[in-house]
Chains A and B, each alone.
Chain A
Amino acid sequence: MTDATSTPPGGGARTKSSLMTLDNRVRRRNAAEARFRAYGIAAVTVGLIFLALLLFAIVRNGVPAFTQTFMTIPVELKADKLDKNGNRDIEEIKKVSTFGYKPLIIDAMSRTLADNGIESPFAKDKDLEKMVSASASAQIRDFVIANPGRIGETVDFRVLASSRVDGYMKGRVAREDLARDKNLDAEHLDVTDALNEAGVLKREFNWAFILGADASESRPEQAGIGVSMLGSFFMMLVVLGLALPIGVAASIYLEEFAPKNRWTDLIEVNISNLAAVPSIVFGILGLAVFIQFAHLPQSAPLVGGLVLTLMTLPTIIISTRASLKAVPPSIRDAALGVGASKMQSVFHHVLPLAMPGILTGTIIGLAQALGETAPLLLIGMVGYIASNYPDGIASGFLDPNSAMPAQIYEWAKRADPAYYERAWGGIIILLLFLMTMNIIAIILRRRFERRW
């Protein structure tokens, strides 16, 4: 050992250093690492804060939509109004329109007030009508047509309060707003307070919001998302039925069988590009091809499903190909080695191993399709279906319908703040569906995952 060989390559004499003190270079590197970690934590925190804000906003704005204010009023089904001839002929009873029921409701309201010892602040009883939903007269008429024998009796009906009364109960409508609101004045709110104290008004969970049909602009308290949920369901059936087999077959062919040449390269590039095409482009394509050229009915879940299939296919193909690629080649070799044909090796060995990935990709694709709005607007999947099922959607795939996200968009567009609340509520339901689908995807992946 000479001095020359022990000199460090940098040259010069090595200074004695202690391991107990950090040198400058190490200190700088540690500082850089600490900074990087801080950036990472900050980024994650910002993300989490936004997520929390989003969830908070959705829950706060949306949860009130699930409850609704009801009141129970004793309605006297006056024979002289509903059945003038007294012969209980169902055809003649049907001739009385919902307008004919208004006076009954007004009577019932004033009687309710009197029963509870509330003095009516109105000069005319007619003003009380605004407290009850416009749906009440239809509800009572339906009852009378179904039970003509009960004309003449006094029956207790549980009817919806009007959206303003409901809003006041929920805190959405305040007294300061009355100046801008022609439909309500301070007296109504006084009566509402009194009825609430008397226990006539009840805020209860409203199944009709989840199961019901849309309603007209003037009666948001009646609107529900149920029919458009069914529309979405039919569309998802179409998407699942078409996109899964087509997508999986295409991916298996491209990944396992197709020769690698210019054509398959071109196809590959195009599939990747299609996945990035804005959904509204698929919408206008669907409008041109399925509706204007093929003359399929507008607003039908079939057409919506076809458009969403086009949109979902690239997602499914890309994820399926990725999971086929992830199957180790040794499995293919093993199968070919014992004399399996190409197809047997794919269907017996490769496909089962790729299944969790394929299913996950499909469900993610479906979830994406479920939340898609833009293409549906272009093909008119915003049908206004006010009648509840089964009447409104007798044959499903070809009848006009709406879809959940399109319905939410429609509600958000309407002027009444009560509809704004329902849009948030609809978003909660949509998110629940998406979360369920994602959870199913995770469970499937866990369940079918195997190691090799």
Chain B
Amino acid sequence: MYDAPASEQKVTQNETKIAARNVQVFYGSTHAIKDVNVEIEDKTVTAFIGPSGCGKSTFLRCLNRMNDTIDICRVEGDILLDGEDIYDARVDPVQLRAKVGMVFQKPNPFPKSIYDNIAYGPRIHGLAKNKADLDDIVEKSLRRGAIWDEVKDRLHAPGTGLSGGQQQRLCIARAVATEPEVLLMDEPCSALDPIATGQVEELIDELRENYSVVIVTHSMQQAARVSQKTAFFHLGNLVEYGETGQIFTNPVDPRTESYITGRIG
């Protein structure tokens, strides 16, 4: 069920970062993702929209194999990162997740200091040779997370003591600290107030310079604001994928139109 071929819509400036080919996902006997083909570009924000339970989060979690932790989950088809199949038997998900970072719906800082939250990833991946190196990485990541100025005087205070919006930016900073190539965000603003949401969206826009960002969102306004590409999922199908402007102003599929005009979903 692939209605709008991506190739027709694409006004390509960037190369493909992740390519999904005929991806099927099953939870036990439930067919959660049905035959999804999509090409996610580098240095682009791609938004996944769709009603609850349409499979957008499930698909997102396939992209860094977070679904491996669910016993009954089974993935078929190919997902290629820079042309390499991430579900290949030789791929260690740990290495993959260092390249494909993830930010979750609820801010989930470790119950440790702000510094340790950021330093944890670089430490386990051996990215820092010494303490000064690590300090550098922490500062750089916090700056990229647009939270440095707020926390630079209390790096050793617990990360859980920050406000919700700060926590989420901390989590984004933590995700970029391992120098990923792709950043997956699963409804990163759903637990935040409008001001914090605005800050995080601004941040996402800045991150586009260095990363390929994939964001799952419930808010169509947010998708319209932050993304260049939008994919609409419905009942496990990828209904339509294309330029964000085109999807919101001139959708090809009637289901997409119904959703963005508020008639379904």
Residue of A nearest to B118 (CB): A338
- Contact between B160 and A339 (Cβ–Cβ < 8 Å)? no
Which of B94-147 touch A at CB < 8 Å? Answer: 94-95, 97-98, 101-104, 106, 108-111, 120-121, 124-125
Asked if A451 and B111 sit within 8 Å, CB to CB, the answer is yes
> Which residues 68-86 of B have a CB within 8 angstroms of A?
69, 71
Q: By the criterion CB–CB under 8 Å, are B104 and A330 in contact?
A: yes
CB of B228 to closest CB in A, whole Å: 24
CB-defined contacts of B121 to chain A, threshold 8 Å: 338-340
Nearest chain-A residue to B97 (Cβ)?
Answer: A339
Stretch in contact with the other chain, from A81-89, A267-275, A341-349: A341-349
In this complex, what residue of A is CB-closest to B125? Answer: A339
Contact residues on A (Cβ < 8 Å of other chain), bracket: 20 to 34
Please give me the residue from chain A that is nearest to B64 by CB atom.
Answer: A337
Q: Known contacts A340-B124, A344-B124; is A333 also within 8 Å of B104 by CB?
A: yes
What mask results when residues 216 to 250 of chain A are scored 1 for a CB within 8 Å of chain B, else 0? 00000000000000000000000000000000000
Q: Which of A260, A337, A341, A452 is the one whose CB lies under 8 Å from B104?
A: A337
Q: Is B174 close to A, CB under 8 A?
A: yes
Q: Which residue of B lies closest to A348 (CB)?
A: B120
Kindly state the separation between the CA atoms of A146 and B133 in the bound complex, as whole angstroms: 71
- Is residue A150 within 8 Å, beta carbon to beta carbon, of the partner chain? no
A261 to chain B: closest residue by CB: B71
Q: Are B110 and A335 in contact (CB under 8 A)?
A: yes
Which residues from 308 to 342 on chain A have a C-beta closer than 8 Å to any C-beta of chain B?
A: 328, 330-341
The minimal Cβ–Cβ distance linking A257 to chain B, given in whole angstroms, is 11
Question: Is B62 an interface position by the 8 A CB rule?
Answer: no
What CA separation (Å) do A403 and B164 show in the bound complex?
55
Q: Is the CB of B160 within 8 A of A332?
A: no
Whether A339 contacts B98 by the Cβ 8 Å rule is yes
Binary contact track A439-452/B, C-beta < 8 Å → 1, others 0 = 00000000000111
Residue in contact with A338 in the complex, picked from B69, B106, B160, B174, CB distance below 8 Å: B174
Asked if residues A452 and B71 are in contact (CB atoms below 8 Å), the reply is no
Main secondary structure of the interface of A (DSSP, over half): helix
Task: Check B175 for interface membership: any CB of A closer than 8 A.
Answer: yes
Chain A's closest residue to B104 (CB) is A333
A396 to B119, CA, bound (A): 48
Decide yes or no: A450 and B111 within 8 Å by CB, A260-B71, A338-B97 being known contacts. Answer: yes
Does A338 contact B175, Cβ atoms closer than 8 Å? yes
Cross-chain contact B71 with A259 (CB below 8 angstroms) = yes
B264 on interface, CB distance cutoff 8 Å: no
Please give the distance in Å from A434's CB to the nearest CB on chain B. 32
B-chain residues with CB within 8 Å of residue A136 when the two chains form the complex: none
Docked CA distance A333–B104 (Å): 8
Q: Decide: B111 and A452 in contact? CB cutoff 8 A.
A: yes
Instruction: Judge if B171 is at the interface, Cβ distance under 8 Å.
Output: yes
A contacts, CB < 8 Å to B:
259-260, 328, 330-341, 344, 348-349, 353, 450-452
Question: Can you spell out 25 A-B residue pairs with CB atoms less than 8 angstroms apart?
Answer: A259-B71, A328-B108, A330-B104, A330-B106, A331-B110, A331-B111, A333-B104, A334-B108, A334-B171, A334-B174, A336-B69, A337-B66, A337-B102, A337-B175, A338-B97, A338-B121, A338-B174, A338-B177, A340-B120, A341-B94, A349-B110, A450-B160, A451-B111, A451-B160, A452-B111
Which 8 pairs from chain A and chain B are nearest by CB?
A339-B98, A330-B108, A338-B121, A337-B102, A339-B97, A334-B108, A452-B111, A450-B111
